[in-house]
Amino acid sequence: MLPQSIFGALALAAVAVCHPVLDPISAMKRAPSPGVVITKCAKPGVIALAYDDGPYQYTSELVDILDAAGAKGTFFWTGTLYGCIYNQAAAVKKAFASGHQIASHTWSHPQNFGSLNSQQLTQEMKRVEDAFVNLIGKKPLYMRPPYLATGGAVLPTLGGLGFKVITDDVDSQDWNGWSAQQSQNAFQQAGASGNGHIPLMHETYASTVRTLTPWLINWAKQNNLKIVTVAECLDDANGAYQPGTFTGNGQNTC
């Protein structure tokens, strides 16, 4: 008869085969580094629904759609692109309280983001960071560059500031006038195998919120994909925000 300790070891090994556990060292190695462009998830079986350009008039509705499905989204928000972020304070707080990831898309979404110098880039990031502290008490560590621009001083500056830079691997092209059906075709062509997708979508289009997102929720379910935040799909669930608590400056206008 085998010693009880050996039985225990075999039992643990069997569990590990059925349900592999990522040890802390491996998780740290897989967690994204600041200033490095990340296009997709670090593991299969997930999808990270990521939305740019808000907060906007559809934000609260989008949160409700995701919440009803038990799905977590990631919101890359600006300070002033579609009005002042403080005018959407209730929706911002609602999304954060519901467990969705809040991330940065710069303060003003400059068209020439890729040609800004380090000082200008830093100002864009710090201003929206201040707004997040005022509204939710957190400083995001994730950002998506306007127009996905990563040239010039962008990556060195963002890396120095500690930001993890996200682009995409599936473009919904809602910004380019595509219908929800055309966007759906893009996801079907990309498929559900391999590491999970981080798509480029915009919460500023009603069709993306009301048609594409519910379709994606069903598509993910049909393909056994879990809808998670960008940080979670990168095994960085505890790294979405800077650690600690922060005091806002009391500002509530842009």
What pLDDT, on the 0 to 100 scale, is given for residue 245?
Answer: 86
What pLDDT, on the 0 to 100 scale, is given for residue 33?
Answer: 86
Helices 213-222 and 59-68 sit at what angle, rounded to 10 degrees? 20
Share of the chain above pLDDT 90, in %: 83
Note the pLDDT tens digit of each residue in 71-94.
999 999 999 999 999 999 999 999
What pLDDT, on the 0 to 100 scale, is given for residue 22?
Answer: 47
Please say if the pLDDT value at position 104 is more than 80: yes
Rounded to the nearest integer, the mean pLDDT of the chain is: 90
Q: In which band, very low, low, confident or very high, does the pLDDT at 95 lie, cut at 50, 70 and 90? A: very high
Please say if the pLDDT value at position 185 is more than 70: yes
How far apart, in Å, are the Cα atoms of 94 and each of 57, 61, 62, 104, 150?
A: 13, 11, 11, 17, 31
What pLDDT, on the 0 to 100 scale, is given for residue 30?
Answer: 54
Q: Which of 105, 202, 235, 236 is catalytic?
A: 202
CATH architecture of 33-233: Alpha-Beta Barrel (3.20)
Domain ranges for the chain, please list them: 33-233
**Chain centroid to CA 249: how far?**
26
Q: Do 66 and 95 touch, CB atoms closer than 8 A? A: no
Q: In which band, very low, low, confident or very high, does the pLDDT at 238 lie, cut at 50, 70 and 90? A: confident
What pLDDT, on the 0 to 100 scale, is given for residue 216?
Answer: 98
Note the pLDDT tens digit of each residue in 139-155.
999 999 999 999 999 99
Comparing C-alpha atoms, which of 98, 138, 93 is closest to residue 242? 138
105 is catalytic: no
202 is catalytic: yes
Residue 139, C-beta contacts closer than 8 angstroms, at least 6 positions apart = 129, 132, 133, 241, 242, 246
Please say if the pLDDT value at position 20 is more than 70: no
Rg (CA), the chain: 20
Note the pLDDT tens digit of each residue in 129-141.
999 999 999 999 9
Q: Which of 52, 53, 168, 235 is catalytic?
A: 52
Note the pLDDT tens digit of each residue in 50-63.
999 999 999 999 99
